């Protein structure tokens, strides 16, 4: 699988894993220490070939995404779930470098473009009604919803923003949350 865009990752181990999964070029941010030189490099790559941001599904990875999105608008984003990025040996370690080749290929095959100017018809009350914020199963449901919609892991505050940024329609949201609730009922 050849990727035209340049993939932005956090570090060298991520680059090694990406090269095992796909034929692509990468830019490394050196973790959350992303600096102006790296941002300029990403901006240039975006102008020439396009960029896919593919960071770890954790707080530092989200922080890097936000910085890039702020300084280099129009980048595409690929996401892995925390489950798919979890190390098999060190259960606490999460990162692109721990993901399977198949998970990386799937994530890169389902990239999203972020926008900052799209209003969705999904509201906070919808998140409350479906137990996505403020409930005992909220974190679990957000994780499963993020996986179903391919928008990544979010906390309660980020979810509404992420749904809007990815232009998730109410219909798609409704279908995905019904799937999550059905799976949850089947598990109990």
Whether 27 is covered by a domain: the verdict is yes
Whether 118 is covered by a domain: the verdict is no
Which of these, 68, 107, 52, lies nearest to 85 by C-alpha position?
A: 107
With contact defined as beta carbons under 8 Å apart, do 87 and 4 qualify? no
Residue 15 sits in the same domain as residue 104:
yes
Query: Which pTM value belongs to this model?
Result: 0.69
The two beta strands, 112-113 and 76-77, are antiparallel
**What pLDDT, in 10s, does the model give residues 140-181?**
999 999 989 888 888 888 898 888 888 888 888 999 999 999
Whether 1 is covered by a domain: the verdict is no
Residue 117's pLDDT is what? 44
Residue 27 sits in the same domain as residue 96:
yes
Q: Sign of torsion, CA 154 160 161 167? A: positive
Residue 106 sits in the same domain as residue 13:
yes
Residue 120's pLDDT is what? 60
Q: Tokens 């798919």 identify what position?
A: 84
Domain that holds residue 73: 6-113
Residue 75's pLDDT is what? 92
Residue 156's pLDDT is what? 84
Residues of the chain scoring pLDDT < 50: 117-118
**From CA 6, how far away is CA 22, in angstroms rounded?**
12
Domain closes at, from 113, 140, 172: 113
Residue 78 sits in the same domain as residue 168:
no
């Amino acid at each position: 699988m050849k990727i035209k865009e340049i993939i932005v990752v956090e570090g060298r181990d991520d680059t090694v894993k990406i090269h095992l999964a796909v034929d692509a070029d990468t830019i490394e941010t050196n973790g959350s220490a992303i600096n102006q030189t790296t941002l300029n490099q990403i901006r240039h790559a975006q102008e020439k070939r396009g960029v896919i941001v593919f960071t770890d599904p954790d707080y530092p990875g989200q922080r890097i995404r936000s910085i890039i999105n702020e300084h280099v608008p129009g980048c595409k984003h690929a996401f892995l779930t925390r489950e798919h990025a979890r190390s098999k040996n060190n259960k606490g370690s999460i990162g692109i470098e721990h993901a399977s080749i198949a998970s990386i290929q799937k994530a890169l095959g389902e990239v999203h473009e972020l926008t900052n100017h799209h209003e969705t018809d999904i509201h906070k009350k919808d998140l409350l009604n479906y137990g996505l914020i403020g409930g005992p199963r909220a974190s679990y449901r957000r994780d499963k919803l993020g996986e179903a919609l391919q928008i990544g892991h979010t906390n309660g505050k980020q979810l509404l923003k992420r749904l809007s940024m990815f232009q998730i329609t109410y219909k798609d949201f409704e279908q995905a949350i019904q799937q999550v609730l059905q799976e949850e009922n089947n598990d109990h």
